[in-house]
Amino acid sequence: MPKAFVLMNAELGSEDSIVNELRKIDGVKEVYQVYGVYDIVAQVEADTMEKAKEIVTWKLRKLNGVKSTLTMIVME
């Protein structure tokens, strides 16, 4: 099962709303607010690599307040 970790930068003050929206997305298994270079880390799992890419590209990256993302695909 394809898995990826998505590191996200958020607009100041939008972290809580992004986390709440991420938790509603099918395929997002874990969400953490973190300190450091990135603001949020999300774990994505899907049945296929194509579906995982679709979740990241069309759902996570399109959320209001998301400034940038870095996706790390887990090696199987």
What's the whole-number mean pLDDT along residues 20-43? Answer: 98
Beta strands in the chain (DSSP E): 3-10, 28-33, 40-45, 66-73
Rounded CA-CA distance 53/72 in Å is 11
Beta strands in 11-65 (DSSP E): 28-33, 40-45
Could you state, in order of their start, the residue ranges of all structural domains in the chain? 3-73
pLDDT band at 59 (very low <50, low <70, confident <90, very high): very high
For the domain covering 3-73, report its CATH number: 3.30.70.920
What is the value of pTM for the model shown? 0.94
